[in-house]
Structure 1
Amino acid sequence: MTILPEIVIPHLEFSEQIRNFLLDSDTFSKTKSGEDVSEVFGLREYRPGDSWQKVHWKMTARQEHIWVKEYSLPIGASIVLAAENGRKEKIPGNFIRAFASLASGFLVYECPCYATWRMAETGQIKRFLLSVQEDYDEMLTVFLKDCREGIGNWDEESYQEAFSERYGRCLVLKEDGTLFVDEEKVWSVAMEKAFREQFLEAVIEV
């Protein structure tokens, strides 16, 4: 039976860069429209306030109504959240709680992220796009199993070689509880102290 870690949602503050980040992805949502003009999601009748630049003039000329194009929504994330463990001994519980809580926090704030880590023995990079709760549940199950098997040092260069999409921020949680954002230390959780109080007091800028 898998014992799930305690989850505490941190206070996250997002920079203008992340709030306005334009995703670079070749995969698009099949259920939601967006603003990526490179791919048309579908057509619908004109509504007051629609931009005339979206009008599909050929369709409009054949119909009695004005039709506009809905563009596609790229599927991806502006945040990469990586777990790093340089120790060979058992991974601390607060490290697992912190990673799981950070990943859950991005869901709560409706900011999709990639949760990722590198296996110690094989060097394989595991990656999960977290945009809905089901994604998170699947990721957490695999993460807990891989923590028992052994995750290793994070290598951003290997990640970039494996996955070509642009991202806005790379967060790395190290085994001692230190959190880095783009190689700058922004926060740390003590491994030997109560977890909930530390995370409730955290304000993490992304």
Structure 2
Amino acid sequence: MSPPAAPAGPALQGDWAPVATPAGEFQLVPVRPEHDLPTLTRWMNDPVVAAFWELAGDESVTARHLAPQLSGGSHSTPCIGVLSGTPMSYWELYRADLDPLARHYPARPHDMGVHLLIGEARHRGRGTGTALLRAVAGLVLDHVPLCTRVVAEPDLRNAPSVSAFLSAGFRLAAEVELPEKRAALMVRDRTHRPLP
């Protein structure tokens, strides 16, 4: 994968260097639709992903999902997760306090949120998600000084996702009713830095 152009959105302020994880070297690379759209569309059509992301369809469906995030005023940055040189996951880093999610929990200024999917099935169910969540939460807390916690709201029915967040040092803060799902509000505080 070639080096990214200037990062999109507010979450990635400059290039974030690769980090070592138990699963291999990992890096977040801002999405480049002209390059990444076919891969993202394939991932969105995987039945395991489609069950929770509900973005199955042709490339236009994925493009419509990405477009608002790639606009100049977005509070979200879509990224490809590259593990040992291979794209394998999709991430959205966003200002949770500026997101509609903030209406459903006691948001703090500069809360950062994370959405993710493991696109390549061979990386599911092996602890890879836990290792990468731990790494990404660490990256956010290291690179966004005003952020005191990272939040996420996986669907409560997605037991593997909730388990990965818990294993990565997040805590279950609440169950919240969102317009599209009942979610587990997961929180990783800056003071909690689990061992690798």
TM-score (norm 1): 0.26
Bigger RCO (CA 8 Å, 6+ sep): 1
Structure (1 or 2) with the greater helix fraction: 2
